[in-house]
Structure formats: structure tokens, C-alpha cells
């Protein structure tokens, strides 16, 4: 089973980082204000980073590392990944 670490760009240009095993379902929860307190207060704009892992432990380890990064470092991480940006639909 795959697990994903993701970074969301919020409407106030802050970032939210999380992990999940069902990315689509988790994004719907974020958009509906039911996933995390942070994304209820800082509305999500789009997913800007996704990385897939083979285990929950690996994903949690990466999530912890990403959460420790400052804003500039997160931007560098995001820009290093060559994947299309996914916009949320309301």
C-alpha cells in the first residue's frame, strides 16, 4: 500500500504538510474544512508537492522532515519536483 506526503499552498501563501494513504479523499476533506484545523483557518489553494512512499513509517519520517523546513526551503523542495500543480475545485 502506498502512502503520500503532500504540501498544500494555502490562500495566504503559507504551506500545510501532511501524509495520507488516500490523497483524493484527504484533499476533499481539506477543501470541506474537515481535515485539519490549520486548513480550516488557512484555506487551501492547491497541492504543490506530492511524494509517494511504500510504508506509513517512511511517509511519516518524510513529513516530519518537511515540516521542519522554513518557507524558503519548502519552496526549493517544491520547485525541485517536476510534476504538474493540481488546483482544487470547489
pLDDT tens digits, one per residue of 41-84: 999 999 999 999 999 999 999 999 999 999 999 999 999 986 54
Q: How far apart are CA 73 and CA 66, in angstroms?
A: 9
Domain 3-87 has CATH 3.40.1440.10: yes
Domain boundaries, the chain: 3-87
d(Cα 40, Cα 60) in Å, to the nearest integer?
22
Q: What is the pTM of this model?
A: 0.87
Dihedral over Cα of 36, 78, 19, 66: its sign? negative
Q: Kindly tell me if the per-residue pLDDT of 89 is higher than 60.
A: no
Cell of 11: 490562500
**Alpha-carbon gap, residue 87 to 84, rounded angstroms:** 10
Amino acid at each position: 500500500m502506498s502512502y503520500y506526503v503532500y504540501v498544500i499552498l494555502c490562500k495566504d501563501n503559507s504551506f500545510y504538510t501532511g501524509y495520507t494513504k488516500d490523497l483524493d479523499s484527504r484533499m476533499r476533506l481539506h477543501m470541506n474544512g474537515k481535515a485539519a484545523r490549520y486548513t480550516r483557518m488557512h484555506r487551501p489553494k492547491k497541492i504543490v508537492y506530492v511524494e509517494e512512499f511504500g510504508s506509513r513509517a517512511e511517509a511519516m519520517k518524510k513529513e516530519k522532515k518537511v515540516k521542519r523546513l522554513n518557507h524558503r526551503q519548502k519552496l526549493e523542495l517544491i520547485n525541485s519536483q517536476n510534476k504538474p500543480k493540481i488546483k482544487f475545485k470547489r
